Chains A and B, each alone.
Chain A
Amino acid sequence: MHTDDADHAHDHHHGHTHQHTHGPHPTREDDDVALTQGEAKFLALKSLLIEKGVLTADEIRRRHEINDRGTPHQGARMVAKAWVDPAFKARMLQDGKAAAVELGIAVTEAELMVIENTPDCHNLIVCTLCSCYPRSLLGEPPAWYVSKAYRSRAVREPRKVLREFGLSFPDAVEIRVHDSNADLRYIVLPMRPAGTDHLSEAALAALVSRDCLVGTALPGQI
């Protein structure tokens, strides 16, 4: 439903045609296919760096773990803090990276820009050229975010894409698409839902899903 990329279509088809042989557990194709040229080059370079003593396998492993520290919850914490603390929100809109540091979150990208949704403007993030995403903050992007379908359609027909995610907006609301095509990285600061005055900061953070931070969902719609 989120996506019309090839992987999803394949899984769907797969599930239906082979269900009787595989049982209820979804399967993933083994990756025992020939290496691409890029993969072969990568593995050769990695082996050489280790052989020559430039890097150790453990250092590379640790770097992977550091890269995997990002999680949407870190972005959700920033949003919830901004909802309850106007001064923090002002600083966050000024400098997203510095605001993250205040919460003990290390953002390693050059700059993090926080884009605020308002009653008059809904924001949507995409990277048309590749798959730029604030990974150190949010982790790896979802598969649909890096799909060619999303990357091309988000800038061409954003309202249709949003409707496929279950969001529609009246014409009076501007849809503003942000192409993350160069040095900045982005998250959306969604509007705080009505009727949440009684919620704690932690409970508010729980309303903010990954997709809210990209602009393809609204808080509380998980």
Chain B
Amino acid sequence: MPEVERPDFARGDRVRIIDLAKPGHVRTPMYVRGKLGVIDRYCGRFENPEERAYGHIGGTRIPLYRVRVMQRDLWPDYQGSNGDSLVLEIYQHWLKPA
């Protein structure tokens, strides 16, 4: 994967967390795959854990974001307030514009 100079997304952008169905040490939990969210914060670039876990230390650094998802969008039967939300960290290649 080429080094990304500038992040593709900015705070407030609507995104969909995609399901790459990739095996191994991935950091995108199953429960958010396919869900819609909003970029809360760009966190900088980090080495890809999907490579690091297999000894590729010092590899390409990729953009990481905090993505905010509304609980109602995560769980249709969510028991709580409509304003409740969840924020988690997603690497750029798991996101597409929405």
Contacts and interface: CB of A to CB of B under 8 A. Distances in A.
Interface of A: 110-111, 128-129, 155-160, 171-184
B64 interface: yes
Nearest to B79: A157
B81 A182 contact: no
Given A111-B43, A128-B29, A177 B49 contact: no
Given A128-B29, A177-B86, A183 B46 contact: yes
Contacts of B31: 128, 155
Given A179-B29, A182-B49, A174 B84 contact: yes
Contact of A178 (B83, B88, B91): B88
B89 to A, nearest CB: 4
A160 B89 CA distance: 24
Closest CB pairs A-B (n = 5) = A182-B89, A179-B88, A171-B81, A174-B83, A182-B27
A183 B89 contact: yes
Given A155-B31, A160-B79, A171-B80, 6 more contacts: A129-B27, A156-B75, A159-B80, A177-B85, A181-B89, A184-B89
Contacts of B27: 129, 181-182
B87 interface: yes
B85 A176 contact: yes
Contacts of B64: 182-183
Contacts, number: 74
Contacts of B90: 182
Interface-centre pick from A110, A156, A179, A184 (highest chain B CB count, 10 A): A179
Nearest to B31: A155
Interface of B: 27-29, 31, 43-44, 46, 49, 64, 66, 71, 74-75, 79-81, 83-91
A179 B86 contact: yes
Contact of B46 (A157, A158, A182): A182
A182 B32 CA distance: 14
B84 A176 contact: yes
A174 B89 CA distance: 20
B87 A177 contact: yes
Nearest to A155: B86
B63 to A, nearest CB: 11
Nearest to B88: A179
Contacts of A172: 81, 83
15 contacts: A110-B46, A111-B44, A155-B86, A157-B80, A158-B71, A158-B84, A173-B81, A174-B85, A176-B84, A177-B85, A181-B27, A181-B29, A182-B88, A183-B46, A183-B89
